[in-house]
Amino acid sequence: MIGQIKTKPLQTLEKVVVRYGCFAESISICELEKIAETGRFGDSLKSYTNRLSEQQRSLIVGALRARIPINIVSMSNLLNTQIGRTILEDLARIIHREDDAGAKALRASLILGAIKPKGFSLLCAIAAYPSKSLEINLSQAFRVLKNLNTAFWQTQQFMSAIAPQLASREAELSLPFDATQPSGGKVEEHKLSLFDQKRNRNLSVDIYWSNIASNEKPVIVFSHGLGSVSTELRYLAKHLASYGFIVAAVEHPGSNEANSNAAIAGKNRLLQPQEFLHRPQDISFVIDELEKLNKTVDNPLQGKLATNKVMVVGYSFGGGTALLIAGAQLQPGSLKQRCKQNLATLSFGEGIQCVAQELPENSYQLRDRRVKSIVALNPTSSLMFGETGLESVEVPTLVLASSADKTTPALTEQIIGFGKIPSPKWLVGVVGGTHLSVKDPSVTMNQEGKPNTPLGGGEVIGKQAADIRKFVKAIVLAFAAQLTPEASKYQVFLTPDYAQFASTEEFPFRLVTEIPADAAAVIETVRSE
């Protein structure tokens, strides 16, 4: 841990050996510092650097000059997580060593590279490497440098800033029960096929309920992510149903897996702009239909559906849908300028939001007042709501952000937006979690063998993410219970203390209701760039 980190390496690095194919060149730390300062390579290196492209030379200079906004504590904590160890193993492949201590030595140098006030410096990390020489495979290094994601590192700094200031994880926490385990209800599942004549739209809805279902508890509606299916959070639906909640998981026909497969085959667009409007309207339509079922004689759900108090749980694009139905104002007018430039630098989540600029109006209000609270898991929010749209959210909101999310990067998609949402609100941070970590393992099997790139891959899913899903079950259950007479019994699960208690070595969890000043400074750094 930090208290055990030595401030100086055991040995002083004298030279860096850079290997590119069959060519190798020794470079001193002093020469590297001059390259960073001047942006030029010395005459003694010309025979070597002439083999590099202009882009490759610029990449080297940029990497030597870069300051990643992460301090020594955040770096150490990150490298202790599962995703951190994966990053470390990947970086270790750049370095040639005759022993097997590459990752250990690299870990020490990375931590020491973040010791200065302005954050991590690659030059400092190289100088701190605990050996007399360091041999770098430049081909591998170029691959890693191209994958550097500043937003990812900024997110780690933010997560560190919202860490609970507790003396020890071993402190006792009095819990009324284990909210990660199912309750006594026997869960049943049923599929509804609905047709909205007004919009000529077929909707498939999975209903989950149990023998202890009660109208004292809110109906919970799930909204899936882009290109996904209604079962993507099935484990969570069954968990909630076992406690007496009735869950309706909607499949949005214009943005589900079938629609995406058709788009890949060239039969239609991946996403039509009208889908931003249709998705919240789908939820409102389903609530209407559930109201009818509640009055239908001999229906097993008769009298058990509290459609006047609904909680919406949305994932990814569905998280944006949840925010819309909670009152956030969709602002396509603001997208026209923001999506005009630098399209190549947008994340997938940002690119999807840019589709909404094709809508004819400058703003839309899609609030359904029967929705009394929402949970937004890894939501899209950075562009579609403009600068002020999230200020119109009218219900208690829980936002979950995963620190290693590439599809909807946490800092830009969830954390900045969270600051604009009115209270009461909760922000949950999953350090080491990726975009797909919260999803049911049955829908993430296609990720096996996918390459790890700046835009995707490297997902922590399935058994690896079991602890994340357990935590999600507890906090979503507790949040839903806030709309019941048992609210106080569940409040402990919505506290920083519980997040700390539930944390594991691989996945530290964070929970705040307001952004602390130190963490707000990280956000301001991003906004000023």
The total number of structural domains in the chain stands at 2
Is there a single domain that holds both residue 338 and residue 454?
yes
Angle at which helix 102-112 crosses helix 72-79, to 10 degrees, equals 160
132, 148, 164 — which closes off a domain?
A: 148
- Does residue 233 share a domain with residue 90? no
Tens of pLDDT along the chain (529 residues) come to 333 444 444 456 777 888 777 677 788 888 888 888 888 887 777 766 777 777 777 778 877 877 776 778 777 777 777 667 767 776 777 777 655 566 778 888 888 888 887 778 888 888 888 877 788 877 777 766 555 556 666 777 788 777 765 434 445 788 999 999 999 999 999 999 999 999 999 999 999 999 999 999 999 999 999 999 999 999 999 999 999 999 999 999 999 999 999 998 999 999 999 999 999 999 999 999 999 999 999 999 999 999 999 999 999 999 999 999 999 999 999 998 778 755 545 678 888 999 999 999 999 999 999 999 999 999 999 999 999 999 999 999 999 999 889 889 899 999 999 999 999 999 999 988 999 999 999 999 887 766 565 556 679 999 999 999 999 999 999 999 999 999 999 999 999 999 999 999 889 999 999 998 878 877 776 665 5
- pLDDT value of residue 28: 82
In a domain, 32, yes or no: yes
- The Cα–Cα gap between 395 and 473 comes to 21
Per-residue model confidence (pLDDT) at position 9: 42
Residues 134 and 218 in one domain: no
Residue 283 forms part of a structural domain = yes
Same domain, 204 and 143: no
Model pLDDT, residue 386: 95
Identify whether residues 69 and 203 lie together within a single domain. Answer: no
- Domain membership flag for residue 13: yes
Q: In the listed set 148, 174, 201, which residue is the last one of a domain according to the structure? A: 148
CATH number of the domain encompassing residue 285: 3.40.50.1820
Q: What's the confidence (pLDDT) of residue 424?
A: 97
Report the C-alpha gap between 229 and 213 in whole angstroms.
25
Dist CA 475 CA 472 (whole Å) = 5
What was the pLDDT predicted at 83? 64
For residues 357 and 433, state if they share a domain. yes
In a domain, 166, yes or no: no
Residue 431 lies in a domain: yes
- Same structural domain, 115 and 236: no
Q: Burial code of 111-142, b = ≥16 C-beta within 10 A, e = fewer?
A: bbbbbeeebbbbbbbbbbbbbeebbbbbebbb
- Give the whole-angstrom CA distance, residue 175 versus residue 169: 15
Q: How far is CA 427 from the centre of its chain?
A: 12
Same domain, 240 and 131: no
Q: Is residue 406 part of a domain?
A: yes
Which of 97, 128, 148 terminates a domain? The answer is 148
Residues 142 and 192 placed together within one structural domain of the fold: no
Look at residue 12 in the predicted model and tell me its pLDDT: 61
User: Do 35 and 118 belong together in one domain?
Assistant: yes
Q: What is the pTM of this model?
A: 0.81
Is there a domain that residue 154 lies in?
Answer: no
Domain extent for 265: 187-527
66 and 203 part of one domain? no
238 near 185, Cβ under 8 Å? no
Q: How large is the angle between the packed helices 102-112 and 82-92, nearest 10 degrees?
A: 110
Same domain as 351, residue 226? yes
Task: Answer whether 298's CB lies under 8 Å from 406's CB.
Answer: no
Tell me, yes or no, whether 53 lies in a domain: yes
